Amino acid sequence: MSRVEGLRANSSQFTLEGKPFRILGGSIHYFRVPRAYWKDRLLKLKACGLNTLTTYAPNFVKFKDHSYLSLAASLGLWVILRPGPYICAEWDLGGLPSWLLRDENMKLRTTYPGFKASVEIFFDQLIKKIVPYQYSKGGPIIAVQVENEYGSYAADNEQMYGFSAKLSLGITELLMTSDGDGLRKHGGVNGALKTFNFQRLNMDRVKYLDEVQPQKPKMVMEYWTGWFDLWGNLHHVFPAEDMTSVVEEILKQDMSINLYMFHGGTNFGFMNGALAVDLPVPLPMVTSYDYDAPLSEAGNYTPKYHLLRTVFSQYHSELLLLFSKEYQPVVVHQRLSLWDSLIFTDEPSSSTTPVNMENLPVNNNNGQSYGYTLYETTITSGGALNSNNNVKDRALVFVDKHFVGVLDDDSQEVTVPDGEEGRTLSLLVENFGRVNYGKTLDKQRKGLVGDIELNKKNLSDFTIYCLDMKPGFIDSLGGSDHWVQPADKPPSGPGFFQATLHVDGPPEDTFIKLPGWNKGVVFINGKNLGRYWSRGPQQTLYLPGPWLHTGENQVTVFEEQNTDGRIQFTTVPDLGKTVEVQ
């Protein structure tokens, strides 16, 4: 194909090289899929009859994954890049980096000088990286999105004009915006095509888009094929037949479409976001981002995939199959207590008053982004320990390493038993995940964000340990001489528990299940699979085969409280009891 005229929106239909073109897109986020499976997932997207891949670029990370764009191009897929910098996506802080919150006056997604300067640096770096992948340069990118769902936020409309102007300096392809409920009020910016997001078709919104953008192509940038899940709730499903009927109607209306998500993947590590809209306190997302999408979390076909393939495909491709295996259970053979692991953390901080995670002097003074923070101080009595709602998000409370209770949004007081003077009070605070959407983004500082009282007196003189559990820390634990064989049956936390999984032959996908365990994080050969929590709904963790190797594999579990002593495997994911998306 010649490269003279890229994607255009000058009439009621898109054109590419001057010929009518309909975008049939699907969202797959490279950062939620093991690199070894990128090709598999994109081939399945193409085999379903789609022609365009959409993806975000999160967290101000230098966009290193050019190979994802190159791979899409090699498979004959176009790309719509949605670089944000805010992406929502049920990702921690909506894709913005936590170090922005070190500024106590920070106003995210506005023209606040500190935010504006950081975004300009981000765009300067990003634009240089993606320019060669534009359609006009022979690459796959046919359009770039300006920000994300700003119409629902609209704190500072000048921001959108600034973003659009900045992108226009280097991007020659079509610019777009996308909005859900905020489309009518504030969505869009001059010079960018407005698109909209929804799950159930509302013809009033279609009519509105025609009115504000006459003789322009209409596109559903996010057609929500399912929904996300929250710890303590049910697993959301959207019936396949309902989804397909809406897709068919969208196509009958001559609209373009992008399936969000076509394949959801996994919130590996600590990257899940949290939901705050219409809730008294934020609720964190689960580790799985299965989303009830056409391809499951592990990349397998679902009824939705087959129905969509009938709708989209004008040809038949061979379906690619992945295999999974139910490995034999493994037994924990050694335990390392939380306190014995502290020698492998950064040098602890000392502070008269509590310091929130983001402002700790760690990680080259960029603060702590994810994981746990341990705050310790000396107490002289027992009594009522009150959090004053300054625990973000959940703290396990220990006295001389003995568990005494939990402080969180629902429980803000714990009784500390009487005892001798000079005892150590420890608060192990977990960041559940920052809100990814809404007007509370600026309030997402974690750890202890204010004073903690014992008998109505502020505690002071804290020693603070950063437990962000990066790969280097997990690897270093192997060098500790404090590992012991568990004496108690089953062993208890908080601490790290190790087992060995032996794999005969080529590794295959599997799912980890932990009945009898309470709450924590699983690492395989140093890679963070994400959080588990017995309260559900999610009851299994996806373990990609490429993260295993033939022979011995190290399984490390950080468990906060109770264990079963065994780690089990299954071929069948368990995302919990279901409820239909409303």
Mean pLDDT in the chain? 94
Confidence of residue 490 (pLDDT cuts 50, 70, 90): confident
Indicate whether 246 pLDDT > 80.
yes
- Alpha-carbon distance 103 to 359, whole Å? 9
10 Å CB burial of residue 117 (0-12, 13-18, 19+) is: exposed
User: One of 90, 147, 149, 173 is an active-site residue; which one?
Assistant: 149
pTM, two decimals, is 0.95
Cis status, amide bond into 303, omega within 30 of 0: no
- Alpha-carbon distance 307 to 314, whole Å? 13
Confidence of residue 317 (pLDDT cuts 50, 70, 90): low
Q: What is the pLDDT of residues 502-550, one digit of tens each?
A: 999 999 999 999 999 999 999 999 999 999 999 999 999 999 999 999 9
Any idea which fold 337-467 has?
Jelly Rolls (2.60.120)
- Alpha-carbon distance 226 to 275, whole Å? 16
Whether 221 contacts 56, CB under 8 Å: no
- Alpha-carbon distance 393 to 276, whole Å? 13
* Structure token pair of residue 340: 């014995």
- Alpha-carbon distance 295 to 253, whole Å? 26
Asked if 222 is an active-site residue, the reply is yes
10 Å CB burial of residue 485 (0-12, 13-18, 19+) is: exposed
Confidence of residue 168 (pLDDT cuts 50, 70, 90): confident
| Residue scoring higher pLDDT (188 or 143) | 143
Indicate whether 2 pLDDT > 70.
no
Q: What is the pLDDT of residue 32?
A: 97
Architecture of domain 7-312 in CATH? Alpha-Beta Barrel (3.20)
Q: What is the pLDDT of residues 133-160, one digit of tens each?
A: 999 999 999 999 999 999 887 767 788 8
Confidence of residue 59 (pLDDT cuts 50, 70, 90): low
Q: What is the pLDDT of residues 414-444, one digit of tens each?
A: 999 999 999 999 999 999 999 999 889 999 9
Rounded alpha-carbon distances, angstroms, from residue 153 to 160, 215, 393, 455, 489 = 11, 27, 24, 41, 52
* Structure token pair of residue 275: 């939901």
Q: What is the pLDDT of residue 280?
A: 87
- Alpha-carbon distance 72 to 56, whole Å? 14
When pLDDT is averaged across residues 305-327 and rounded to a whole number, the result is 80
Q: What is the pLDDT of residue 153?
A: 78
Superfamily of domain 485-580: Galactose-binding domain-like (2.60.120.260)
Q: What is the pLDDT of residue 187?
A: 76
Indicate whether 61 pLDDT > 70.
no
Cis status, amide bond into 261, omega within 30 of 0: yes
With helix as H, strand as E and coil as C, how does 485-548 read? CCCCCCCECCEEEEEEEEECCCCCEEEEECCCCCEEEEEECCEEEEEEECCCCCCEEEECHHHC
Indicate whether 315 pLDDT > 70.
no
- Alpha-carbon distance 350 to 376, whole Å? 10
Q: What is the pLDDT of residues 459-470, one digit of tens each?
A: 999 999 999 999
The percent of residues above 90 in pLDDT, for the chain, comes to 84
The domain ranges of the chain are: 7-312, 337-467, 485-580
User: One of 90, 147, 173, 222 is an active-site residue; which one?
Assistant: 222
Whether 313 contacts 51, CB under 8 Å: no
Confidence of residue 62 (pLDDT cuts 50, 70, 90): low
Confidence of residue 57 (pLDDT cuts 50, 70, 90): confident
Confidence of residue 319 (pLDDT cuts 50, 70, 90): low
Whether 317 contacts 410, CB under 8 Å: no
H helix intervals, 48-112: 66-74
Q: What is the pLDDT of residue 460?
A: 98
Q: What is the pLDDT of residue 567?
A: 98
What's the CA dihedral at 68, 74, 78, 82 to 10 degrees? 10
Whether 193 contacts 213, CB under 8 Å: yes
Q: What is the pLDDT of residues 369-394, one digit of tens each?
A: 999 999 999 999 999 999 999 999 99
Q: What is the pLDDT of residue 63?
A: 57
Nearest to 374 by CA among 443, 294, 431, 332: 431
* Structure token pair of residue 448: 């202890």
Indicate if 485-580 has the same CATH topology as 7-312. no
- Alpha-carbon distance 400 to 419, whole Å? 10
- Alpha-carbon distance 16 to 10, whole Å? 11
What's the CA dihedral at 534, 538, 540, 543 to 10 degrees? -130
When pLDDT is averaged across residues 254-275 and rounded to a whole number, the result is 97
